[in-house]
Structure 1
Amino acid sequence: MDAEDSISRYVIIGYRLTFLVGLSSVAVANYLLPELLQYGKTFVPDNPHRKDAPLWQRLFYATVPKGRFAHFYYLSTFLSMINLYSYHGSPIAWLILFHSVRRAYETTYVSKYTPTSRMHWSHYVVGIWFYSVLNLMINIKLHQGAVSSALKPVPFLIFCFASWDQYKNHRILSRLVKYSLPTEGLFQIVCCPHYLDEVLIYASLIPYNWEFSWLLIWVFTNLSVSARENKNYYDHRFPKARVPQYAIIPLVL
């Protein structure tokens, strides 16, 4: 094993460990500190946010504008362009660039964020981590020649459908009176079809290399928690409305 292979091996071990730490953190926060997993309409500031609270509490519970979601996709667009420059014949490099640019456009020009729409600072850090690791993982696997160079028709169709549907669902959300109940399209079936679309997008990458299963596991776990938070919010906010039975995946969750 030469030095380059050894470095790649340790980098792979390193980012796998970050996924394990991240998944463990989500599990712990879900049961002990659920407010850290809330953002947007599900985020309700509590006493630690008071100006007279101890400094450590104000720092621990600090928030940032939810509109900074766009930073994740600006970063991913930049990194995916680097990957595409080096591996312009790779379908997956094009797919990730398309996904990053589309989401950057949506978070900048489609989604609407109010000044009170916030997220915990840890969400911001985790988003930067995820899209950095996503592109690092793809770069390593492309460098190793371990990613299929042929476009896979069925996964590509799933990717395209999920991308189109996610854009449509974000348009639906952008037209709503803030924090009201969406009832169009797949919102009639699950509370968060835009999260389901994200899961499908990352599932469509796995046939190119099984290493991308890490991405799917993280996205599914993280968004499942968020989807349940959204469903709980809708159930309590609209007790007389027809809130979908499932949060993210029909007949499952």
Structure 2
Amino acid sequence: MEQGALLSSLEHFLTHKVSPAQLCQAFFVLAAAGVLAVAATPKSARRLMLEYGPRQQEKPPAAGEDATSKAATTTASLNSHSSSSSHFTKLVAWFTSVGKVPHSWFKHFYILSVCSSLFWAAQYMSDGTIIRFMARAQAKSLKGSMTTNQALLTWLLMLMQGCRRLFECLAILRPSTSKMWIVHWVLGMAYYACINVSVWVEASTSLLQTGELSFTFEQPSANEFIGTLLFLGAWIMQYRCHKYLAGLKKYSLPEEGMFLYLICPHYTCECILYLSLAITAAPKGQLLNQTITCGLVFVATNLGVTAGDTRKWYAEKFGQNSIQQRWNMVPLVY
């Protein structure tokens, strides 16, 4: 009885106060605001919170360090900077020295992502209690709902991304002995938990109408067709970028393919991937899925800050002229 009353109270809160989608949206927006706040701190403190892995070890960025791989803006350097003497910097140095974890823990993000995709798929196919509970809490606040087909397609695309990134972490990326701040790891895990809810939560009304697996091979909508093509293109391009970076010898400056025009084309691909999911999962009458778009805002903010720092680092290591004609992440914009 007590458990039933607790679930009933929680459902009432999620239905009448804040929906599951709104909780995900709030997390993404607040996380993006946190990234911007860190980026606005003094340079010495910012480096302690942002630098990790290769830059921390005086080497160019390795493949796959994207936040979605998401959440790469809250990591810490192992070395404090001798020129930093302010009390604030010392305080940041102390915080970032606590709770360091192996940089290889990046793979946990994709293990969680794949497991989450499989979990929600299993919940749907078995008409599980948890997905029904969240769908009921969400359905009353929806102005428009994704179709069941949209939800399953977006699930599949998210699963593909998680599987490919996990494969890259296990089979392509070079082993690293560097460390990262545990705050970064926690933020990344929270991101992938939320984004795997976001890909289906706006389909709650449609899901509640289905008691078992239902997928009909209907003609795809314009959103589904365009979003899927965009996703597949970015998915392949990002894999190529990561494989190329992983194969660089002596940590030389990337100078092939998209790297001739962009500092971090793998970040560009990451943003396109989430934009494509937002297009694919857009409810009827909407251009984008609002919840996934909020996730994209976090990804773009996070990776944008990291791309800017990467540009500065490349300029210091290889000279400004070597990257003069390259955009950071978005052609003609940034």
Q: TM-score, normalised by structure 2?
A: 0.66
Task: Supply the distance in 1 between the matched residues of 2:200 and 2:320 (Cα, whole angstroms).
Answer: 50
Higher helix share: 1
* 2:189 pairs with 1:180: no
Counterpart secondary structure, 1:119: strand
Change (3 A) 1:180 1:213: same
Greater CA drift, 228-237 or 206-215: 206-215
User: Which letter maps to 1:213?
Assistant: T
Task: Kindly state the Cα deviation for residue 160 of structure 1 after the two structures are TM-superposed.
Answer: 0.4
2:24 to 11, 15, 22: 15
> Residue 67 of structure 1 corresponds to which residue in structure 2?
104
Task: Kindly state the Cα deviation for residue 15 of structure 1 after the two structures are TM-superposed.
Answer: 2.6
1:45 to 56, 72, 78: 78
Change (3 A) 1:119 1:104: same
Task: Supply the distance in 2 between the matched residues of 1:222 and 1:113 (Cα, whole angstroms).
Answer: 24
Q: Is the 8 A contact 1:170 1:194 kept in 2?
A: yes
Task: Kindly state the Cα deviation for residue 77 of structure 1 after the two structures are TM-superposed.
Answer: 0.2
Greater CA drift, 84-93 or 230-239: 84-93
Change (3 A) 1:155 1:14: closer
Counterpart secondary structure, 2:101: strand
> Residue 201 of structure 2 corresponds to which residue in structure 1?
140
> Residue 202 of structure 1 corresponds to which residue in structure 2?
274
* 2:299 pairs with 1:219: yes
Task: Kindly state the Cα deviation for residue 136 of structure 1 after the two structures are TM-superposed.
Answer: 2.0
Identity of aligned residues (%): 27
Task: Supply the distance in 2 between the matched residues of 1:228 and 1:240 (Cα, whole angstroms).
Answer: 13
* 2:97 pairs with 1:25: no
2:182 to 97, 110, 121: 121
2:234 to 138, 159, 162: 162
User: Which letter maps to 1:47?
Assistant: S
> Residue 109 of structure 1 corresponds to which residue in structure 2?
171
Task: Supply the distance in 2 between the matched residues of 1:139 and 1:164 (Cα, whole angstroms).
Answer: 24
Q: Which runs of 5+ in 1 are unaligned?
A: none
User: Which letter maps to 1:222?
Assistant: N
Q: CA RMSD in A?
A: 2.7
Aligned length: 245
Task: Kindly state the Cα deviation for residue 103 of structure 1 after the two structures are TM-superposed.
Answer: 0.5
Structure scoring higher RCO (CA < 8 A, sep ≥ 6) equals 2
Task: Supply the distance in 2 between the matched residues of 1:113 and 1:30 (Cα, whole angstroms).
Answer: 28
CA displacement, residues 74-118 of structure 1 (integer Å, 9 cap, x when unaligned): 000000012223447510111111110111111111111321x33
Q: Is the 8 A contact 1:84 1:94 kept in 2?
A: no
Change (3 A) 1:141 1:245: same
Task: Supply the distance in 2 between the matched residues of 1:56 and 1:202 (Cα, whole angstroms).
Answer: 32
Task: Supply the distance in 2 between the matched residues of 1:205 and 1:108 (Cα, whole angstroms).
Answer: 25
Q: Is the 8 A contact 1:87 1:142 kept in 2?
A: no
Counterpart secondary structure, 1:182: coil
Q: Is the 8 A contact 2:173 2:246 kept in 1?
A: yes
> Residue 118 of structure 2 corresponds to which residue in structure 1?
81
Task: Supply the distance in 2 between the matched residues of 1:93 and 1:56 (Cα, whole angstroms).
Answer: 39
Task: Supply the distance in 2 between the matched residues of 1:101 and 1:141 (Cα, whole angstroms).
Answer: 23
Task: Kindly state the Cα deviation for residue 138 of structure 1 after the two structures are TM-superposed.
Answer: 2.6
Q: Which runs of 5+ in 2 are unaligned?
A: 1-7, 57-76, 83-89, 126-148, 208-215, 283-288
CA displacement, residues 34-68 of structure 1 (integer Å, 9 cap, x when unaligned): 2212222233533389xxxx999544334322221
Counterpart secondary structure, 1:204: helix
> Residue 251 of structure 1 corresponds to which residue in structure 2?
332
Task: Supply the distance in 1 between the matched residues of 2:205 and 2:227 (Cα, whole angstroms).
Answer: 22
